[in-house]
Amino acid sequence: MSTMRPYRLGVLPGDGIGPEIVPAAVRAIDAALAAAGAPPAEWHDLPLGAAAIETHGSALPAVTVETLAELDGWLLGPHDSAAYPEPHRSQLNPSGSLRKRFDLYANIRPARGFEGGTAIAPDTDLVIVRENTEGFYADRNTVAGSGEFMPAPGVAIAMGIFTRPKIERIARAAFELARRRRNKLTIVHKANVLQLSSGLFKRVCLEVGEGYPDVAVDDFHIDAMTVHLLRRAREFDVVVTENMFGDILSDLAGELAGSLGIAPSVNASDDRAMAQAAHGSAPDIAGRGLANPIAMILSAGMLLDWLGTRFADRRAIDAAARIDAGVRATVRSGVSTSDLGGTASTGEFADAVVARIAGA
């Protein structure tokens, strides 16, 4: 692809605070691409969530999925699927459906403290690489059905599925990321108890690591890893693990770095990516201008970095760096939302970030 072609990006605001924080991320991308001398993005607004149920009869309409298939990536706002009316509430939620439909197998979740923030461990700077398509998440590990079943009343069984090809590809993604960072990788597993399933995850990751002799590798059991993160988060670089462990560890790491309100993520396959804040829809503060847009803005920056890396587009990578620097400079200057001890509204914080990006 010529990097002169505008990136085609989807906008899915979602529920709750989504319509407040997603536009802030769009503004950040627009400002960063302009500052980097790159063509402006081509935006596609698409229905999703509660509003889509009202207009299209589905939380994830077919037109949304069909359009996303033609795009380079998209911004996904949080959804509040627990509040959807039936039968939508019992169906696979929009985020899970998109991850499964587009095989977004790599969930990349960085945790980095902010100077001027309120982090428990402000020197945290790590990335959790979470396998996103199998493991112990029942809604993603089978072709048909949920991966859960009840053979008798009062007995529930959930399958945890681990396959060599999918472990190999998430391990490669993690090792490649480690090469771009500090050349350290930690494998998190429970191979001492789950010897076949989690044991396979550990073994295959170690095998893949043989092809990356420049990356230092260690491994920890999941229970021990929680303790290590609390005691010495600053010593970790890239952490690779299966689906459920990655979900739990990334929430912990996000809180150590400041809060889930600043925890970004990107879900990627080999040919497209979805930017998605790690937090939920926060319906209790929706529409009040209180939401912290940092996680969504940083997720947007991660999307640009992914696009720049995929297409060898230095301007997109530069734009991503400008977003990260703009957010950090804004917090460092004392401007933040109330959850970080500040007084700025969602819009005011976004204004400050955009001004920093444009002036960088």
Q: Is 271 a catalytic residue?
A: no
**Per annotation, catalytic residue among 45, 223, 270, 271:** 223
Q: Is 137 a catalytic residue?
A: yes
**Per annotation, catalytic residue among 190, 202, 237, 324:** 190
Report d(CA 129, CA 137) in Å as an integer. 16
- CATH code for the structural domain at 120-257: 3.40.718.10
User: The domain 1-104+272-360 is classified under which CATH number: 3.40.50.620, 1.10.10.10, 3.30.470.20, 3.40.718.10?
Assistant: 3.40.718.10
**Per annotation, catalytic residue among 247, 313, 318, 324:** 247
SS3 state at 115: coil
pLDDT of 149 reads 84
**Per annotation, catalytic residue among 103, 125, 139, 251:** 251
SS3 state at 75: strand
What is the model's pTM? 0.92
Inter-CA distances, 355 with 318, 351, 358, Å: 17, 6, 5
Q: Is 105 a catalytic residue?
A: no
CB burial of 119-155 (b: ≥16 within 10 Å; e: otherwise) equals bebbebbbbbbbbbbbbbbbbbbeeeeebeeeeeeee
Q: Is 84 a catalytic residue?
A: no
Q: Do domains 1-104+272-360 and 120-257 have the same CATH topology?
A: yes
**Per annotation, catalytic residue among 137, 202, 219, 313:** 137
Q: Is 139 a catalytic residue?
A: no
Q: Which tokens belong to 81? A: 């699927």
CA gyration radius for the chain? 20
Please name the helix (run of DSSP H) or strand (run of DSSP E) that holds residue 156, with its range, or none. strand 155-158
Delimit the domains of the chain by residue range.
Answer: 1-104+272-360, 120-257
Tens-binned pLDDT, residue by residue, of the chain (360 aa): 445 689 999 999 999 999 999 999 999 999 999 999 999 999 999 999 999 999 999 999 999 999 999 999 999 999 999 999 999 998 889 998 999 899 999 999 999 988 766 778 888 999 999 999 998 876 666 766 677 889 999 999 888 899 999 999 999 999 999 999 999 999 999 999 999 999 999 999 999 999 999 999 999 999 999 999 999 999 999 999 999 999 999 999 998 988 888 999 999 999 999 999 989 899 999 999 999 999 999 999 999 999 999 999 999 999 999 999 999 999 999 999 998 889 999 999 999 999 999 985
Q: Which tokens belong to 71? A: 């795009």
pLDDT of 299 reads 98
Inter-CA distances, 133 with 97, 179, 307, Å: 11, 24, 21
Q: Which residue has the tokens 């979602």?
A: 14
